Amino acid sequence: MPALPDASSRFELVKWYLDSVEPDGTATIAYWASLTWLGAHTTWHDLSRYELGQKPAETSSRRAVPPPQMIEGHVAWHAERLHLETIHEAATPGVTLTLFEDANGRITWECLAPSARARFDRGGTSTEGTGYVECMTMTVPPWELPIDELRWGRWMNDTLTTSLVWIDWRGKLPRHWVLLNGSVQEGATVRDDGIDVPTGRLMLDPPRTLHDRSVGKLLRGISGLARVATHIPLAWDEHKWCSRGTWTNATGETLSGWSIHEMVRFT
Radius of gyration over alpha carbons of the chain, in Å?
18
pLDDT at 217 over 90: no
Rounded Cα distance between 129 and 127, Å, is: 7
What's the confidence (pLDDT) of residue 7?
Answer: 47
More confident residue, 219 or 183: 183
More confident residue, 216 or 211: 211
What's the confidence (pLDDT) of residue 118?
Answer: 98
| DSSP of 139-151 | SS-GGGS-EEEEE
What's the confidence (pLDDT) of residue 88?
Answer: 98
User: What burial letters (b/e) apply to 214-240, b meaning 16+ CB within 10 Å?
Assistant: ebbebbeebeebeebbeebeeebbeeb
Q: Which SS3 state, helix, strand or coil, does residue 160 take?
A: coil
Rounded Cα distance between 146 and 93, Å, is: 31
Contact (Cβ atoms closer than 8 angstroms) between residue 102 and residue 111: no
Residues 6+ away with beta carbon under 8 Å from 152: 166, 167, 168, 261, 262, 264
Given pLDDT bands bounded at 50, 70 and 90, which one contains residue 1? very low
pLDDT at 256 over 80: yes
Residue ranges of domains in the chain: 7-266
78 half-sphere exposure, CB direction, 13 A CA radius: 2
What's the confidence (pLDDT) of residue 212?
Answer: 87
Q: Is 258 exposed, middle or buried (0-12, 13-18, 19+ CB in 10 A)?
A: buried
Model pLDDT for residues 84-131, shown as the tens digit of each residue: 999 999 999 999 999 999 998 999 999 999 999 999 999 989 999 999
Contact (Cβ atoms closer than 8 angstroms) between residue 43 and residue 34: yes
| DSSP of 52-80 | TTS--EEEEE-S--PPPEEETTEEEEEEG
Whole-number mean pLDDT of the chain? 90
Model pLDDT for residues 172-213, shown as the tens digit of each residue: 999 999 999 999 999 999 999 999 999 999 999 999 999 987
Q: Is 114 exposed, middle or buried (0-12, 13-18, 19+ CB in 10 A)?
A: buried
Model pLDDT for residues 48-89, shown as the tens digit of each residue: 999 999 999 999 998 889 999 998 889 999 999 999 999 999
Rounded Cα distance between 40 and 151, Å, is: 30
Q: What share of the chain is helix, strand, coil (3-state, %, to 5)?
A: 5, 65, 30
pLDDT at 6 over 80: no
Helix (H) or strand (E) holding 229: helix 226-229
Given pLDDT bands bounded at 50, 70 and 90, which one contains residue 240? very high
Q: What is the mean pLDDT of residues 17-34?
A: 97
CA-based nearest residue to 46, from 69, 13, 18: 18
With a threshold of 0.85, does the pTM exceed it?
yes
